[in-house]
């Protein structure tokens, strides 16, 4: 291959906005989109997209591009990182000046640290009556996030995403952090990128949004994402406008994939179709792409098959990650079938073929044929709009489906002092309870010289010739028992009960 002579050029930063769901991530993105995209064009963006490209003047007055990722949350971002995808260059951690640090803030922060990317703290909602920026800095410091001027070097900006206060300064800092990171790309290379969204479009087929991380993609090339590929015929920018070529940091949408690419999949591009097909074959032959055989379920373990449908692929990835957190020693959740789009007739058929399966629809509808088939077969479709409500319900469902197991609980020990009578398997004996208790109805093991010689059952307990339910430690009692083994003096009975537990 000839040596490339092109010099790397400056690459626009790719920024991910993260933090608690109610701290203003979406409001911030909306404000940036409305004010930093050419007037009249931003209003035309009505479809669900996963990335925006904006322009902002730097300190020298030069127009600079910034790409923003609009992910469903830190879990989807974590899913991308888990697949080896380095998609974001900079993170913005949004924290409310009213509420301070929350659990989701910490989870987002952990994802940022694991991704090893620089980040900026945006203290939002400073326009609110209860806003307190200094207190918010204090809560950040308490969890180890030290902003500039408060014991650390993490840049921060106090903003109001609703009013726009401080947003321009935040964009300035993003460009400064990007400049310090010396982000570069080679426009002469075939494009590389990362899938950030994918879905099945009823009219167009499979579409996927990707962010180009290096190189250039031109019309007529071929894009490959693991076992899915497409010819680059229909390429659009984030506003739906057709493109002939796109280069690094740009979010683009490609249509006509052979399958639905998984969010976080790394995309490669090829000028030659045979090379692209060869890359798909290589990907399918990799061990991690070969369908792994299910481990044999341990005895007493129940597997619950889940048919999962979501509105978009990013949400699908996020929910799958959440499902891995749901643990029960005797219940295993298994995503038997998943997909993007409405619950279809084929989904119901999968559920009918998988015993005890659950159909979960997240932020998506059920088509008429599927609803009819489900109704006729008494199949319930469980719909959700909030991830934590879905996981709470599944946790309860796991408890409900957990098989009951029998557990032996030892009650104590009784040493035989005297044997009174025996008639077939029934015997009357006397003894002292040395530990614990002996209860009527309990079973027991017969220990003779520390060896178990048989078992039996306590029919009746008497203390001082009065019938009672149990005899406690230190007391002498008479027992009527049933056993196939003849009990002898100095034997030790170990009474126990069998309880059923989930």
Terminal Cα distance for the chain, rounded: 64
Dist CA 254 CA 235 (whole Å): 5
Q: Of 3 and 197, which is predicted with more confidence?
A: 197
Domain edge (last residue) among 288, 310, 330? 288
Q: Which of 51-65, 231-245, 382-396, 474-488 has the weakest average pLDDT?
A: 51-65
Strand partners, 358: 306
Residue 471 and residue 433 in contact, taking contact as beta carbons nearer than 8 Å: yes
* Model confidence pLDDT, tens digit, residues 62-74: 899 999 987 655 5
Dist CA 287 CA 273 (whole Å): 24
Say whether both 33 and 163 belong to one domain. yes
Residue 242 and residue 236 in contact, taking contact as beta carbons nearer than 8 Å: yes
Q: What is the mean pLDDT of residues 393-420?
A: 87
Q: How many domains does the chain have?
A: 4
CATH number, residue 436: 2.40.30.10
pTM of full prediction above 0.85: no
Q: List CB contacts of 285: < 8 A, sequence separation 6 or more.
A: none
What confidence score (pLDDT) does residue 202 get?
A: 65
Half-sphere exposure of residue 259: CA atoms within 13 angstroms, side-chain side = 12
Say whether both 283 and 309 belong to one domain. no
Say whether both 197 and 93 belong to one domain. no
* Model confidence pLDDT, tens digit, residues 441-464: 999 999 988 788 889 999 999 998
Token pair belonging to 480 = 């009527």
Dist CA 411 CA 180 (whole Å): 70
Residue 437 lies in a domain: yes
Residue 351 lies in a domain: yes
Comparing CA positions, the residue from 112, 37, 25, 107 lying closest to residue 67 is 37
Say whether both 147 and 162 belong to one domain. yes
Residue 211 and residue 185 in contact, taking contact as beta carbons nearer than 8 Å: no
Say whether both 58 and 180 belong to one domain. yes
Say whether both 203 and 219 belong to one domain. yes
Residue 208 lies in a domain: yes
Say whether both 368 and 323 belong to one domain. yes
Say whether both 350 and 495 belong to one domain. no
* Model confidence pLDDT, tens digit, residues 56-100: 988 788 899 999 987 655 555 666 655 555 788 999 999 999 999
* Model confidence pLDDT, tens digit, residues 197-225: 887 776 678 889 999 999 999 999 999 99
Residue 294 lies in a domain: no
Q: Which residue range is the domain that position 43 belongs to?
A: 9-184
């Amino acid at each position: 291959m000839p040596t490339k002579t092109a010099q790397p050029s400056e690459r626009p930063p790719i920024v991910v906005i993260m933090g608690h769901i109610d701290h203003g991530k979406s409001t911030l993105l909306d404000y940036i989109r409305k004010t930093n995209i050419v007037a009249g064009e931003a209003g035309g963006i009505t479809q669900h997209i996963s990335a925006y490209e904006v322009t902002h003047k730097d300190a020298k007055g030069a127009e600079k591009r910034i790409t923003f990722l609009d992910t469903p949350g830190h879990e989807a971002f974590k899913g991308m990182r888990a697949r080896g995808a380095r998609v974001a260059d900079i993170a913005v951690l949004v924290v409310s000046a009213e509420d301070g640090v929350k659990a989701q803030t910490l989870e987002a922060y952990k994802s940022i640290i694991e991704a090893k990317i620089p980040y900026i703290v945006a203290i939002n909602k400073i326009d609110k009556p209860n806003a307190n920026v200094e207190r918010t800095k204090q809560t950040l410091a308490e969890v180890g996030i030290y902003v500039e001027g408060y014991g650390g070097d993490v840049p921060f900006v106090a903003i109001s995403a609703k009013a726009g206060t401080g947003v321009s300064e935040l964009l300035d800092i993003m460009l400064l952090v990007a400049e310090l990171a010396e982000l570069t790309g080679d426009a002469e290379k075939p494009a590389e990128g990362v899938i950030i969204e994918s879905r099945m479009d009823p009219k167009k087929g499979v579409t996927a949004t990707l962010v180009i991380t290096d190189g250039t993609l031109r019309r007529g090339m071929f894009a490959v994402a693991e076992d899915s590929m497409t010819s680059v015929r229909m390429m659009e920018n984030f506003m739906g406008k057709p493109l002939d070529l796109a280069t690094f940091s740009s979010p683009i949408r490609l249509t006509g994939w052979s399958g639905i690419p998984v969010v976080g999949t790394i995309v490669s591009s090829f000028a030659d179709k045979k090379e692209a097909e060869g890359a798909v074959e290589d990907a399918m032959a990799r061990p991690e792409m070969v369908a792994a055989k299910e481990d044999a379920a341990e005895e007493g373990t129940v597997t619950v098959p889940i048919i999962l449908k979501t509105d978009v692929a990013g949400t699908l990835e996020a929910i799958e990650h959440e499902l891995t957190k749901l643990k029960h020693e005797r219940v295993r959740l298994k995503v038997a079938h998943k997909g993007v789009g409405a619950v279809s007739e084929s989904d119901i058929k999968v559920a009918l073929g998988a015993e005890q399966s659950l159909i979960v629809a997240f932020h998506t509808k059920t088509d008429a044929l599927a609803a009819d088939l489900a109704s006729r077969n008494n199949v319930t479709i469980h719909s959700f709009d909030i991830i934590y409500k879905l996981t709470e319900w599944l946790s309860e469902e796991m408890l409900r489906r957990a098989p009951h197991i029998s557990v032996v609980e030892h009650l104590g020990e009784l040493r035989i002092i005297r044997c009174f009578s025996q008639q077939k398997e029934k015997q009357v004996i006397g003894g002292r309870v040395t530990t614990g208790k002996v209860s009527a109805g309990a079973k027991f093991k017969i220990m003779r010289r520390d060896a178990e010689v048989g078992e039996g059952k306590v029919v009746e307990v008497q203390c001082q010739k009065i019938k009672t339910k149990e005899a406690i430690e230190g007391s002498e009692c008479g027992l009527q028992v049933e056993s196939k083994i003849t009990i002898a003096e100095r034997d030790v009975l170990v009474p126990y009960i069998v309880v059923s537990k989930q």
